[in-house]
Amino acid sequence: MNESGLSLEQRLALVESVGEEITTKEELKNLLLNKHDLVAYDGFEPSGKIHLPQGLLRAININKMIKAGFQFKVLVADWHAWANHKMGGDLGKIRLVGEYFIEVWKAAGLNLDQVEFVWASDLVKTEGYWDLVMKIAVKNNLPRIIRTVQIMGRNETDSLTASQIIYPLMQAADIFMLKADVTQLGMDQRKVNMLAREAAEDLGFVKPVVVSHHMLLGLLPPSDTTGEESTTDRAIRLKMSKSKPDSAIFMTDSPDEVKRKISNAWCPEGQATENPILEYFKYFVFQKIDTVVIERAKKHGGDLEFKSYQELEDVFVQKKLHPQDLKNSLAEYINEFLEPVQNHFENNADAKKLKEEVETLKVTR
């Protein structure tokens, strides 16, 4: 048992429920068994509005990591957003969006007692930061760095600017400067986390354990793809796009807007693969509700209760549950989860003003 009162097996199970992929599970086990004052980190580029995976899923995952015994550091990557040309490269606007994101997490139930927000604009001023960036740079050739550009939400390489080449070098340095034992980011960030692991020992650091969470599907029909896809490439393809508002539910969407988006979402009858409605049940609803109720009219068989996601999926695949009934219940649950956030931004004058200012900003990719 550790200070949390949980056994090693319980702590491992919590982290494994966050990570779709863990590199490596044996290293994670050794960390949990032998090290105190564990630190995990995630980072985000402040850009535009915040959608459900960025807001609610991040809160769920961070709270699980905290329960498993980690102190959590969240990097507000304002300099990285600047390097990636977000918000027109206006650092003032980027910082405003960063404050807005933090305000959303406060209302979404993030355990703030065990979370430290670190601004990249402060971290880059730390003694030794740019020395470390340079050391990582001289250890890697340009093609190796270019292969990580997907971390910025970009697949193209011809139009990369010099700042975007520096970006992954900074992100690898962040891990070491934050003294992170574990990186807990999405599957789309896997390549740069591997870059950090490769460089760690030569630079005098312990390899960080990489806990990569699942990238949720967008609500729109999946794009056609051909050929084999790597895990990371698939994560990029399925990543929600802020440039397509109907592909995502935003944390401050109105209840009617949530219902509309879910009602129009892709959910082919009997199909479990690449089904965003089922994914929302798996990664949101069943993370917060022990017994999930799907409400149905009596003429359609009445309400159904499920104790696990797998039960729900099995019934859906057997076509014993209609997509519209699934969507209707999902909308009710999501609106229930978002109600504290919506109330906060409606009733707190400072938060409301911040939200209004952010919504006037033009989002750039």
220 assigned to some structural domain: no
Are 209 and 118 in the same domain? yes
Q: For residue 236, tell me if it sits in a domain.
A: yes
Q: What pLDDT was estimated at residue 120? A: 97
Residue 54 sits in a domain whose CATH number is 3.40.50.620
Buried b (16+ CB within 10 A) or exposed e, 234-248: bbbbbbbebeeeebb
Question: 248 and 188 in one domain?
Answer: no
Is residue 1 in a domain?
Answer: no
Structure tokens at 128: 């030794």
What span, in angstroms and rounded, lies between the C-alpha atoms of 350 and 345?
8
Q: Report pTM.
A: 0.90
DSSP structure string for 270-337: T--TT-HHHHHIIIIIHHH-SSEEE---GGGT--EEESSHHHHHHHHHTT-S-HHHHHHHHHHHHHHH
Helix (H, G, I), strand (E, B) or coil at 50: coil
pLDDT along the chain (365 residues), means of 10: 80 96 96 95 90 94 96 96 90 95 94 95 97 95 84 63 92 97 94 94 95 92 58 50 77 95 96 95 96 91 94 97 96 97 95 92 65
* Residue in 147, 219, 207, 145 with CA at minimum distance from that of residue 181: 207
Dihedral-angle region of residue 268 (phi above 0 means left; psi in -120 to 50 means alpha; beta otherwise): beta
15 and 145, same domain (yes or no): yes
Co-location of 196 and 70 in the same domain: yes
Give the C-alpha separation, 328 to 1, whole Å: 42
| Plot region of 26 (φ>0 → left; ψ -120 to 50 → alpha; else → beta) | alpha
Which among 183, 213, 243 is the end of a domain? 213
Q: How many domains does the chain have?
A: 2
Residues in Cβ contact with 20 at an 8 Å cutoff, skipping those fewer than 6 apart: 187, 212, 213, 214
Other CB atoms within 10 A of residue 362 CB:
9
Asked if 60 and 190 sit in the same domain, the reply is yes
Closest CA to 267 of 225, 330, 209: 330
Look at residue 365 and tell me if it is in a domain. no
CATH at 275? 1.10.240.10
CA atoms within 13 A on the CB side of 18: 31
Residue 154 burial class via C-beta count within 10 angstroms: exposed 0-12, middle 13-18, buried 19 and up: middle
In degrees and rounded to multiples of 5, residue 94 shows phi and psi of -60, -45
Domain that holds residue 318: 231-359
Which pLDDT belongs to residue 299?
A: 85
Q: What is the DSSP letter of 78?
A: H
